[in-house]
Amino acid sequence: MKERRGERETGRRGESETGRVVLNATPLAPSPRRPVSRPSIAGDLRVVLWDIDGTLVRTRRQGVFKDYTTPVLVRVFGTAGRLHELSVSGMTDLQIVSEALRDEGFTAEQIRGRATELTALYLEELERLTRGEEVYHALPGAREALEAVERRPRYLNSLLTGNVEPAARLKLRLVGLERFFRLPGAFGEDSHDRRDLPALARERLSRHLGLDLKPEQLIVVGDTPNDIRCARHFGARAVAVATGRTYSTADLTAHDPDAVLADLTDTELVLRILAGL
């Protein structure tokens, strides 16, 4: 398997004392933020599609997702099915509902037909939960990475997440990261299959920017194998970050992303990896 930028290699030049992955490259100098004519750099433009849970944001305790999802499913379908048994990391919200209710007689088409209702109730239950408890926090380095990407004209920040859009934006607002995401993206109510999301993001972004973005101009950043798979399925680049609760750096490396990071705390490393994609 080919060597990846940022891959950990014990005992080899480039590994930090803390074990965080590093690159043997000269750090990029900060560039001032300035207005850019997008069409003039259309071919060089890269859109960084960020996952949220486990990549930018984490809960302060486990089980939060099921705490606000269970009452939603009970209200809409009369049961939460086997939700309590599922490992939901990397799944879209529609996929989670489909898997939870698989043995309850509900088809994926029936569930998709209730997507609007589900989305509204997800937001309602998440707002109720977060009013009484400080649930989320931004992961170390997330804010700095987003700021650095935003300052560079080559890059734009957007979202590719399994969360339904209102819940995604609420989570970002709660931790002060919402200002980095003003562009359209792709979300958990769009499909039960995460592999569909990059194409949807590309279509929406191309229309919004007035450009014909190519798959290789999208860089998916996430903490699960599903993030890598959805990028590969579409032909986008994939950067894995081992900051979720489920998958280690070694686990993610086995799925052949373009790069693997232990975390986002080394902003210059993040920029060097993006510069190579």
Residue 2 located in a structural domain: no
Distance CA 65, CA 93 (A): 10
Residue 5 located in a structural domain: no
pLDDT digits (tens, 9 = 90+) for 165-189: 999 999 999 999 999 999 999 999 9
Q: What is the pLDDT of residue 41?
A: 63
**Arithmetic mean of pLDDT, 18-37:** 37
Displacement of CA 60 from its chain's centroid (Å) = 18
Domain that holds residue 105: 64-131
With 90 as the cut, is the pLDDT of residue 261 above it?
yes
pTM of the model: 0.85
CATH number assigned to the domain comprising residue 70 = 1.10.150.240
Instruction: Choose the final residue of a domain: 116, 131, 146.
Output: 131
**Arithmetic mean of pLDDT, 21-26:** 35
Distance CA 168, CA 187 (A): 8
With 90 as the cut, is the pLDDT of residue 55 above it?
yes
Displacement of CA 156 from its chain's centroid (Å) = 14
Q: What is the pLDDT of residue 30?
A: 36
With 90 as the cut, is the pLDDT of residue 4 above it?
no
Shared domain for 143 and 109, answered yes or no, is no
Please state, rounded to an integer, the average pLDDT across all residues of the chain. 88
Shared domain for 90 and 170, answered yes or no, is no
pLDDT digits (tens, 9 = 90+) for 202-234: 999 999 999 999 999 999 999 999 999 999 999
pLDDT digits (tens, 9 = 90+) for 64-113: 999 999 999 999 999 999 999 999 999 999 999 999 999 999 999 999 99
Distance CA 250, CA 17 (A): 18
CATH number assigned to the domain comprising residue 246 = 3.40.50.1000
pLDDT tier for residue 8 given thresholds of 50, 70 and 90: very low
Whether the Cβ atoms of residue 250 and residue 77 lie closer than 8 Å to each other: no
Q: What is the pLDDT of residue 154?
A: 96
Buried-exposed string 65-87: b where 16+ CB fall within 10 A, e elsewhere: bbbbbbbbbeebbebbbebeebe
Residue 8 located in a structural domain: no
Dihedral sign for Cα 128, 132, 138, 139, please. Answer: negative
Which residues are bridge partners to 160 per DSSP? Answer: 186
Residue 24 located in a structural domain: no
Q: What is the pLDDT of residue 3?
A: 42
Residues 6+ apart with CB under 8 A from 166: 119, 120, 122, 123
Q: Number of structural domains, the chain?
A: 2
Distance CA 200, CA 190 (A): 8
Q: At what angle do helices 197-209 and 225-234 cross, to 10 degrees?
A: 60
| Residue 80: half-sphere exposure toward Cβ, Cα within 13 Å | 12
